[in-house]
A and B are shown apart, each in its own frame.
Chain A
Amino acid sequence: MQAEWEEMARRNWISENQEAPGQVTISTIEKGYYFHTENPFKDWPGAFEEGLKKMKEGDLPVTILYLEAAILQEPNDAEAWQFLGVTQAENENEQAAIVALQRCLELQPNNLKALMALAVSYTNTGHQQEAYQALRNWIKQNPKYKYIAKSKKGSPALTRRMSKTSDESSLLEEVKDLYLEAAHQNGDMIDPDLQTGLGVLFHLNGEFNRAIDAFSAALTVRPEDYTLWNRLGATLANGDRSEEAVEAYTRALEIQPGFIRSRYNLGISCINLGAYREAVSNFLTALSLQRKSRNQQQVPHPALSGNIWAALRIALSMMDQPELFQAANVGDLDILLRAFNLEP
């Protein structure tokens, strides 16, 4: 029974992620959030607080269960939706993250953390337009910067641009103006959140070196922020600087060993560097982490990310080990963990 559930979960995720890169694989329309059907913490008092505790410990799958429990108990808890969205992204589950963050923003349109997280998720899924809008809203809703958006409204240049907001490049220019103006107003003061927004914006626009500068600036203020290290790493990787990306991911994982997304990213960089064994090892570790904490909680069908399985198959295919490739095809994690001497 367990195996069947695993197989079903695996298939669902894989089929969602098998479209060609560049294509829109995730709908921006809210489809509704799929809760785990058998949540052992369903009636847990203080589930939200327990979730935050687990989040700090880096146990993402269990954090998700607690936060889902908190939301089932209090469906309008915007903050719980926000943390759930952020955790789902860290757990390499973008679709769930987007849905949770959208729900958060319906309840609380000025939730800055959710706006930024949503901009990131849209960036990752190739939804440029939506990402720019989320970034713009982040400025508009931000007590520190909303005056910039207001003062800009009257400017003739902006009005001209606003008249054709459907044009992607004009939206980009508008949002860029806002962020650069905000940075200018800050002078020598570095606002790590603003720099993060700039990093996402430049990344969206393919200006990787400028994005790297922005994330690096944010890190000077928050050197222990593992999500920032991952964002820096991902930008380095997408800018063809895989060796440096590995260093950044390694730092993120030192701070937060349970950070599934960074583990996945590290594996992708290993593939690009031709280190297939290390790549496989990272993907297996990520899958095993996703499964492990669930199993301890006796959740019958742990959701393992489809894109991690897909990346694992790619790495294995480069290693000339047909039996292991076959094991990945049927989703047999135990055989693979044993073959690579990893703890189940």
Chain B
Amino acid sequence: MAAPRVAVVGAGLIGLSTALHIAEVIPSCCSITLLSEQFSPNTTSDVAAGMLIPHTYPGTPIHVQKQWFKETFTYLFAISNSAEASEAGIHLVSGWQVFKNPLEAEVPFWSDIVLGFRLMSAAELQKFPQHSHGQAFTTLKCECPPYLMWLEKRLKANGVQIHTRKVADLWELHSEYDIVVNCAGIGARQLVGDQQLFPIRGQVLKVHAPWVKNFIRDGDGLTYIYPGIHSVTLGGTREKESWCLSPDPGTTRDIFDRCCSLEPSLQRAQDIRVKVGLRPSRSCVRLQKEVLSQGGAKLLVVHNYGHGAGGFSVHRGTAKEAAHLVGECIAALEGSSSKAKL
């Protein structure tokens, strides 16, 4: 049979990294096209801080999440240690996660993957008078848009076609492609009618405060300060089922105040820009194959969406799994062309 044609829908972090992984592991035996209505800097991924601190998916076994995180961390750590690091926007960052109450579990599942994980000393905790406990570690951060641009560049170098196109229905791709990889993020709610997928609206501030070198995250996950290469991301909010993409001035004030109470030096931050993104949330990432049928026609689909707030932490691991599923679809296509014997 002719080389199978693969379309990846979505050009956020998940779409780009999935397309790249397919191109890397299934070279030459298939053609890959990336289709998206929006590209960086207008994706949800561009709003995210890009920190590698996993969020737990209640519907996915912990060992699987740990594996995804480990693969992602290892991959990005190698980039951070290469000449590509600045262009790719990947860098190490150290800091603290602080808590007001004693922790339920002594160490999180990812503690042996990040670097130098330890409980904070009393002396360190003096920096956070409202908090009684804390963890210190070094992790990685992906600066966006640079990381997304770098992925795009790698895709082009691997021969992946990139087209701007809004896909309203997967079936419109049926005549042009054999396999469709759905990385539409929150767009999957409309695209495939997934009612288990819902937005968790996040509003963040990107500020100029180059003196802030360490990350600070309140253990409740609501307030965080993540220093990047060009700006510091201050957050945040978690508004379930809100589809509103315009910034709320009251929320902006609130975020700024909360961050300043953690890191008072931010009072002098400048150039405050407000961004809003809709985290594609689900009890678990939808990472599976589906064979769609319509009037005798079949369309092979691989889903990879629903990463919620934790996409950056696991994107390489889930891209690898999605690429594996694409490989299985290719095998199935070859299988269905095997003929019956008289």
Q: Do A and B bind each other?
A: yes
Q: Does A288 contact B (CB under 8 A)?
A: no
Q: Within 8 Å CB of B331, what residues of A?
A: 313-314, 317
- Chain A 26-41, CB-CB to B under 8 Å as 1, else 0, gives 0000000000000000
> A118 to chain B: closest CB distance in Å?
12
**B334 near A320 (CB under 8 angstroms)?**
no
Which residues in chain A, 151-196, are within 8 Å of chain B measured between CB atoms?
Answer: none
**A245 near B342 (CB under 8 angstroms)?**
no
**B342 near A92 (CB under 8 angstroms)?**
no
Q: Does A124 contact B (CB under 8 A)?
A: yes
Q: Does A293 contact B (CB under 8 A)?
A: no
Known contacts A274-B291, A317-B332, A318-B328, A21 near B340 by CB under 8 Å = no
Q: Within 8 Å CB of A92, what residues of B?
A: 341
Q: Does B289 contact A (CB under 8 A)?
A: yes
**B340 near A314 (CB under 8 angstroms)?**
no
Q: Does B101 contact A (CB under 8 A)?
A: no
Among residues of A, the one whose C-beta sits closest to the C-beta of B330 is: A317
Chain A to chain B contacts (Cβ below 8 Å), 12 pairs: A120-B342, A123-B342, A233-B340, A245-B340, A265-B341, A311-B338, A313-B331, A314-B331, A314-B334, A317-B331, A318-B332, A320-B289
> B325 to chain A: closest CB distance in Å?
8
Q: Does B175 contact A (CB under 8 A)?
A: no
Given A235, A261, A265, A271, which contacts B332 in the complex, CB threshold below 8 Å?
A: A271
Q: Does A315 contact B (CB under 8 A)?
A: yes
Among residues of B, the one whose C-beta sits closest to the C-beta of A245 is: B340
CA distance in complex: A315, B291 (Å): 13
Q: Within 8 Å CB of A237, what residues of B?
A: 339-340
- Chain A 221-237, CB-CB to B under 8 Å as 1, else 0, gives 00000000011011101
Q: Within 8 Å CB of A235, what residues of B?
A: 340, 342
- Chain A 83-105, CB-CB to B under 8 Å as 1, else 0, gives 00000010010100000000000
Among residues of A, the one whose C-beta sits closest to the C-beta of B1 is: A21
Contact size range, A:
20 to 34
Residues of B within 8 A of A (CB-CB), count: 18
Q: Does A264 contact B (CB under 8 A)?
A: yes
CA distance in complex: A89, B1 (Å): 25
Q: Does A69 contact B (CB under 8 A)?
A: no
Which residues in chain B, 284-342, are within 8 Å of chain A measured between CB atoms?
Answer: 288-289, 291, 293, 298, 328, 331-332, 334-342
Q: Within 8 Å CB of B336, what residues of A?
A: 271-272
CA distance in complex: A124, B339 (Å): 8
**A317 near B328 (CB under 8 angstroms)?**
yes
Given A238, A274, A315, which contacts B340 in the complex, CB threshold below 8 Å?
A: A238
Among residues of A, the one whose C-beta sits closest to the C-beta of B287 is: A320
Known contacts A317-B331, A318-B289, A21 near B341 by CB under 8 Å = no
> A275 to chain B: closest CB distance in Å?
11
Which residues in chain A, 100-145, are within 8 Å of chain B measured between CB atoms?
Answer: 120, 123-124
CA distance in complex: A33, B113 (Å): 58
- Chain A 205-226, CB-CB to B under 8 Å as 1, else 0, gives 0000000000000000000000
Q: Within 8 Å CB of B335, what residues of A?
A: 268, 271, 311, 314-315
Which residues in chain A, 324-341, are within 8 Å of chain B measured between CB atoms?
Answer: none
Given A21, A94, A238, A268, which contacts B334 in the complex, CB threshold below 8 Å?
A: A21
